Amino acid sequence: MESIENVISGSCSIHEQKVIIDGKVGFEGNIDWSMPEFLKKVYKNFEMKYPKFYKMDPLTKLGFTTAEILLRDKNLNEKYDDADIGIVILNRSSSIDIDKAFQLTIDDNDNYYPSPALFVYTLPNIMAGEICIRHKFKGENTVFIRKEFSAKFIQDYVSLLFQKKKAKVCIAGWVEVNHTQYKSLLMLVENTIFANSYDSGHTFDTNAINKLF
């Protein structure tokens, strides 16, 4: 196997009312804000101008917003073929909050109005779909559910996708929402063989990943 060096050429993490871009605080909210309130401020602060944002459920909003900030000025579509841009996201609670919200619309026969706008978000991979739609990414995407964040699994799996030529660049990480608890980390992972040029970054290993998480 040829030796491929994979690098993290960007990262964004959102948790505890903070947006951390490449390891530095890029935006900070009031700790009293609810998560949806906070994400709305983030959306406005980073001037995302994508009204569909408001239709998304909190999990999708978190994944979408994290990707949006991560991918600013990255011009991936210019550097890579759309079909070579992959997404790998891990999450613990799947879409549990929106599942519960949807269940409320159908639980009672006398008040049975299943909402399509809620149902559509009752799959965690919809957030990957929304990122793909926004950025015209047409590559492989997979959502894994996992008890805990695992830097090793992310490293191994993304490296395998590169090795198998399933993707040449990958947006990878963790996006989790459960009631008031939330945390995201998405990294842009490129490698020195496929990329003509890449921003200088950290070597893609468990140390670096854990540091960002």
Partner 1 sequence: MEELIERLKGEIIEVLNLEDVEPEEIDADAPLFGEGLGLDSIDALELIVLLEKNYGIKIEDPKDGKKIFFSVRSMAEYITEHKGK
Partner 2 sequence: MQYPDRKMGKVFIESDNIISSLGFTTEENVCGILQDKPGIRIYNPSQLSPTRVPLSLVETDKLNGIFSEFDDPENFTRFEKLVIASISNALAESNIPVKSKDTLFILSTTKGNIDLLESKKRSLFEEERKYIWNTAALLSNYFGLKNEPLIICNACISGVLAINTARMLLESGTYKHAVVVGADILSRFVISGFQSFQSLSPNPCKPFDKSRDGLSLGEGSSTMVLTTDISILAEGQQISVIAGSGSNDANHISGPSRTGEGLYHAIRKTLEEAELKAEHIDFLSSHGTATDYNDEMEAKAFHWAGLAQVPINSFKGYFGHTMGAAGVMESVLSVESMKRNMLFHSYGYGNHGVTVPLNIISGHREAEMEYIVKTASGFGGCNAALIFKKDKL
Residues at the interface with partner 1 (CB under 8 A): 40, 51-52, 54-55, 113-117, 120
- Which among 147, 144, 102, 107 is positioned nearest to 127, based on CA atoms? 144
DSSP H helices, 46-167, are: 58-70, 76-79, 96-104, 116-119, 126-135, 151-163
- The partner in contact with residue 173, picked from partner 1, partner 2, none with C-beta cut-offs of 5 to 8 angstroms by kind, is none
State the nearest-atom distance from the C-beta of 132 to partner 1, in Å. 16
CB of 166 to partner 2, least distance (A): 6
Chain residues in the site for partner 2 (CB under 8 A): 82-83, 87, 92-94, 96, 99-100, 102-103, 105-107, 109, 112, 114-116, 119-120, 122-126, 128-130, 132-133, 135-147, 150, 156, 160-161, 163-166
The least distance separating partner 2 from the CB of residue 194, rounded to whole angstroms, comes to 15
Q: Shortest approach of partner 2 to residue 184 CB, angstroms?
A: 17
> What's the rounded Cα separation, in Å, for the pair 16 and 111?
37
- 54: partner contacted, choices partner 2, partner 1, none (Cβ within 5-8 A by kind): partner 1
3-state secondary structure of 110: helix
Q: Whole-angstrom Cα distance, residue 153 to residue 147?
A: 12
Residue 103 CA to residue 118 CA, distance in Å, equals: 10
